[in-house]
Amino acid sequence: MIVCHCTQISDRDIHAAIDWMRAADPDTIITPGKIYHALGKTPDCGGCLDLFVGTMVKSDNLGVPSVLRNMRARRRVSSLK
C-alpha cells in the first residue's frame, strides 16, 4: 500500500527501512525523518504523517531500545495527612 503519494513510499518500504536501521544499530531511535533519509527521499507536504506513523507503529522492530526504557524520572507519591 502506498503511504506517501508525494514520494511513492509504501508500507513495505517503511518496514524494510525500520528492519535495516534496527539491524544496523539496535539502540537507534527511529523517526519518520530517519526513514525518509534511509530511503533516499525527503518529506514533501506532510499529509501522510498520520498514516506514516501508524505504519511505523505496526512494525515489530520499532520499539524503544532497552537502554532508553524507564529513563523518565519516577514521581514520588507523598501521602497527605
pTM for this structure? 0.79
Q: Indicate the domain borders of the chain.
A: 2-64
pLDDT at 65: 73
What is the chain's percent helix, strand, coil content, to nearest 5? 40, 5, 55
pLDDT in tens, the chain (81 residues): 999 999 999 999 999 999 999 999 988 889 999 999 999 999 999 999 999 999 999 998 888 777 777 776 656 555 555
